[in-house]
């Protein structure tokens, strides 16, 4: 037995020495069996930050073209068979870094970047493991996984394939993978789903990752962050206004009333599980929430997102999308309110950040509109004195006369108020809109009274 082991070791040494220094064919064979490492290119999407750097391009399509690292990885599956004995074989372990290439990666990268590419991710769940994402943490078989390699603590939120607080048992022959930069990674939470072991082509075992550990975080305080909101609202508003100054836009004024309406909306979203602008379940729409706080303006806007964000992360998240980026850089709004709400949704800790904007756009009244109300004022001023002169006169129904004078006075005062608002290019409030609506009825009533008094 001892001689057999010595013989095997001898042959291995010979193969490695000869293969790497003499025969390119033999060297390639050893590479293909994972015995010798080879460099694998990592693009700059940032999904594995901080283990691998982020690119510097302005968007993902540019960053995916940047090569930011060339880690040495082993081909998988590894090993060879010598004298009927498997040698140098390796079994994928939790927290290994792997390169994946399958139909899902091809579809995702083609749609997102315009070309096919593989993914580099970290193995989190092995076959038979139960994985759960809750309150930003990864639970493996009921315990929080210590993850010093993640870009931020408590940043692991669910997706379409694996939502928050929904335990998933990894099927036989598969693994569950995540990127280290959880808020910028397309992985097993989403369309990628579980990954077959046969789709893994390279691996860096956990024990071989020492060169990256200096880049990772200290995790001793991670668990203390449970059930807390991490967003600094004032810092977020500052980031928005810094950009607005660069774009030569007026800064947003922070509004405590709009922050209150944002908080109201955040709570009802979680309470009713209705994360929509229509508020079909709760009935607490943007306009209703704003009115409840007493904030008064002309136009409003709302946008929101779920998850745990620091200020820069939230800003980066919003400017990734055209609609929210447009609102952050809009010239229509002057006020901003922001609120982050953390509450339980069906026993699942859920955080939502809501942003409310308020603004003023002056009305564009036509000259004909203003003139019609001014003419009404002039006409009433002309006829009102003649009716006032017959007060207490005999043969006149004084009750009807007093009612007529009241109507004429009311219409004149209303018209003067409306003309004043229109000339100042101010919007009519609800009371003034009611005046406009009721004027036709008052006019008809006055005409009827005049007809009766003239009989």
Cβ pair 190, 161 in contact under 8 A: yes
Distance CA 347, CA 380 (A): 66
The model's pTM: 0.69
Q: What is the mean pLDDT of the chain?
A: 90
Three-state SS at 97: strand
Would the pLDDT of 25 be above 70?
Answer: no
* pLDDT at 230 (0 to 100): 85
Of 5-14, 139-148, 390-399, 416-425, the one with minimum mean pLDDT is: 5-14
Would the pLDDT of 26 be above 60?
Answer: no
Classify burial at 8, counting beta carbons within 10 Å of its beta carbon; exposed 0-12, middle 13-18, buried 19 or more.
middle
Would the pLDDT of 172 be above 50?
Answer: yes
Confidence bin at 82 (pLDDT 50/70/90): low
352-380: pLDDT as tens digits: 999 999 998 788 899 999 999 999 999 99
Which of 14-23, 73-82, 303-312, 442-451 has the highest average model confidence (pLDDT)?
442-451
Mean pLDDT of 176-192: 95
Distance CA 274, CA 270 (A): 7
Position with higher pLDDT, 6 vs 158: 158
Mean pLDDT of 82-89: 64
Distance CA 13, CA 17 (A): 6
414-453: pLDDT as tens digits: 999 999 999 998 888 889 999 999 999 999 999 999 999 9
Would the pLDDT of 3 be above 80?
Answer: no
* pLDDT at 71 (0 to 100): 95
95-108: pLDDT as tens digits: 999 999 999 999 99
* pLDDT at 29 (0 to 100): 54
> What beta strand segments (E) does 47-93 contain?
67-69, 72-75, 80-82, 85-87
Would the pLDDT of 317 be above 60?
Answer: yes
Confidence bin at 31 (pLDDT 50/70/90): low
* pLDDT at 2 (0 to 100): 45
* pLDDT at 19 (0 to 100): 47
Would you say the C-alpha torsion 28, 34, 37, 43 has a positive or negative sign? Answer: positive
* pLDDT at 23 (0 to 100): 58
Cβ pair 160, 172 in contact under 8 A: no
Would the pLDDT of 112 be above 80?
Answer: yes
Query: Are β-strands 80-82 and 42-43 bridged in parallel, bridged antiparallel, or unpaired?
Result: unpaired
Would the pLDDT of 209 be above 80?
Answer: yes
Would the pLDDT of 20 be above 70?
Answer: no
């Amino acid at each position: 037995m001892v001689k057999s082991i010595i013989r095997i070791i001898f042959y291995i040494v010979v193969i490695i020495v000869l293969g790497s220094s003499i025969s390119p064919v033999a060297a390639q064979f050893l590479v293909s069996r994972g015995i010798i490492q080879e460099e694998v290119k990592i693009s700059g999407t940032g999904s594995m930050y901080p283990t691998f750097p982020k690119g510097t391009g302005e968007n993902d399509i540019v960053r995916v073209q940047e090569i930011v690292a060339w880690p040495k990885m082993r081909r998988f599956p590894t090993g060879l068979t010598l004298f009927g004995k498997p040698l140098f074989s390796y079994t994928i372990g939790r927290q290994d870094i792997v390169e994946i290439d399958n139909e899902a990666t091809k579809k995702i990268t083609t749609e997102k970047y315009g070309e096919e590419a593989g993914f580099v991710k970290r193995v989190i769940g092995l076959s038979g493991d139960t994985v759960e994402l809750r309150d930003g943490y990864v639970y493996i078989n009921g315990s929080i996984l210590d993850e010093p390699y993640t870009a931020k603590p408590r940043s692991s939120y669910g997706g379409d394939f694996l939502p928050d607080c929904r335990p998933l048992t990894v099927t036989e022959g598969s693994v569950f993978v995540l990127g280290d930069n959880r808020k910028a990674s397309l992985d097993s939470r989403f369309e990628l789903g579980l990954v077959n072991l046969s789709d893994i082509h390279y691996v860096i075992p956990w024990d071989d990752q020492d060169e990256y550990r200096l880049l990772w975080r200290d995790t001793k305080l991670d668990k203390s962050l449970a059930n807390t909101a991490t967003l600094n609202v004032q810092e977020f508003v500052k980031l928005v206004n810094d950009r607005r100054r660069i774009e030569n836009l007026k800064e947003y004024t922070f509004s405590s009333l709009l922050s209150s309406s944002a908080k109201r909306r955040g709570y009802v979203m979680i309470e009713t599980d209705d994360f929509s602008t229509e508020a079909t379940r709760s009935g607490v729409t943007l306009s209703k929430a704003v009115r409840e706080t007493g904030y008064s303006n002309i136009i409003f806007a709302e946008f929101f997102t779920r998850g745990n964000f620091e200020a820069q992360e939230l800003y980066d998240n919003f400017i990734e999308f055209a609609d929210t980026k447009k609102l952050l850089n809009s010239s229509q709004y002057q006020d901003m309110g922001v609120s982050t709400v953390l509450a339980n949704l069906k026993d699942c800790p859920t955080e939502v950040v809501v942003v409310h904007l308020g603004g003023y756009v002056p009305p564009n009244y036509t000259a004909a509109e203003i003139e019609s109300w001014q003419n009404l004022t002039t006409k009433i001023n002309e006829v009102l004195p003649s009716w006032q002169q017959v007060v207490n006169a005999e043969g006149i129904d004084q009750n009807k006369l007093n009612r007529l004078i009241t109507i004429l006075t009311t219409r004149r005062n209303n018209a003067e108020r409306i003309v004043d608002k229109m000339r100042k290019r101010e919007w009519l409030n609800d009371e003034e809109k009611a005046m406009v609506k009721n004027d036709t009825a008052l006019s008809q009533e006055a005409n009827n009274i005049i007809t009766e008094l003239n009989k």
